[in-house]
Amino acid sequence: MSEWWRYHIADFLMYSARTFYRLVEQFNTSLWPLHLVALLLGVVVVALVLRPKPGQGRVISGILALLWAWVAVAWLWQRFATINWAATWFALGFGLEAVLLAWFGVMRKDLTFRTTPGLAGWMGIALLLFSVCGYPLIAVMSGRGIGQSEVFGMMPDPTALGTIGALLIAERRRWLMLVPVAWCLISGAILWALTTSVS
């Protein structure tokens, strides 16, 4: 243990990129066509951000809270935990974010979104649009096929990115981005480890 600095993230992963994406494909196959419902909810979030209506904060917060809870249970706890021992802890983090979004956005009505976004807001809109419309195409463009696509509201990465995008438009409670940003860092480290372990 005296040479602990020689360990890499890949040394702690007990699965390969092929195993991970095969699990994604099995997940997608078993739950199809729920992806269409998740994408529809993503489109509703985008529409409410672009064309605000009364009560938009509660609706957006409610949808995001529901999707975070769903990803926590359906993917992280039930599926990803079968190959990654830390996924149960990740599920707790996603559950926490769902509770925070529901509490501050739905119950307290304390999460509002700007009608005229500034630079950060437009970046948020772009990130939200990419998460809902563009992220599923990454699998296709990388040659893995549509069956291994990661869809907003079904998988953690696009859900976290889309939430960051929505919260960039928020007038308050931007600290709610802490869990999504933390997940992006963790996921980025895992994906980097998987790709470097292949080479």
CB atoms near residue 62 (< 10 Å): 17
Tokens 């925070």, located at residue: 100
Helix boundaries (H) for the chain:
17-31, 34-50, 56-70, 87-101, 119-129, 137-141, 156-169, 178-198
Q: What are phi and psi of 86, to 5 degrees?
A: -85, -5
- The whole-number pLDDT of residue 7 equals 47
Taking the CA of residue 69 as centre, how many other CA atoms within 13 Å lie in the half-sphere pointing to its CB? Answer: 11
Q: Over 60: is that where the pLDDT of 9 sits?
A: no
Q: What percent of the chain stands above pLDDT 70? A: 90
First to last CA, the chain: 26
Q: Is residue 103 part of a domain?
A: yes
- Range of 114's domain? 17-198
Which of these ranges, 5-14, 43-52, 112-121, has the smallest mean pLDDT?
A: 5-14
> How many separate domains does the chain show?
1
Q: Is residue 9 part of a domain?
A: no
Q: Is residue 143 part of a domain?
A: yes
Q: Over 70: is that where the pLDDT of 112 sits?
A: yes
Q: Is residue 2 part of a domain?
A: no
- The whole-number pLDDT of residue 6 equals 53
Q: Over 80: is that where the pLDDT of 151 sits?
A: yes
Q: Over 50: is that where the pLDDT of 176 sits?
A: yes
CB atoms near residue 170 (< 10 Å): 25
Q: What percent of the chain stands above pLDDT 90? A: 61
Q: Is residue 8 part of a domain?
A: no
Q: Is residue 11 part of a domain?
A: no
Q: Is residue 84 part of a domain?
A: yes
Q: Is residue 5 part of a domain?
A: no
